[in-house]
Amino acid sequence: MPDSSGPQEGTTRHINDNPDSLEIGTPAKGGAIKMYGNYADPEEFKAKLANALAIRRHAQALLEEDGTHKPEKEGISGK
């Protein structure tokens, strides 16, 4: 078992490939989406956003199908 009673030295390396964030929507009106990416690579960020919106639409459809949630206003499904 290593001796942990004395001073210890280490190196921590922090890599942040997604330094920027974007939040759209409202939790009470169809759900909010918060995503992380790099604004320096807008095409990758746009692809992430398109995927996030597709997943939100899918989740909304499942809730409506289940009868758990019914949209109150048009546009709630993120379309």
pLDDT in tens, 13-61: 777 888 999 999 888 877 889 999 999 999 999 999 999 999 989 988 9
- Please report the pLDDT score of residue 3 as a whole number: 66
Residue 56: Cβ within 10 Å count: 19
The phi-psi region of residue 39 (left if phi > 0; otherwise alpha if psi is between -120 and 50; otherwise beta) is alpha
> pTM for this one?
0.61
Per-residue CA distances from 18 to 27, 28, 54, 74 (Å): 23, 27, 21, 33
If pLDDT is split at 50, 70 and 90, which confidence band does 78 have? very low
Q: What is the pLDDT of residue 26?
A: 87
Q: What is the pLDDT of residue 16?
A: 84
* Domain spans, the chain: 20-66
Q: How open is the CA angle 55-57-61, to the nearest 5 degrees? A: 115
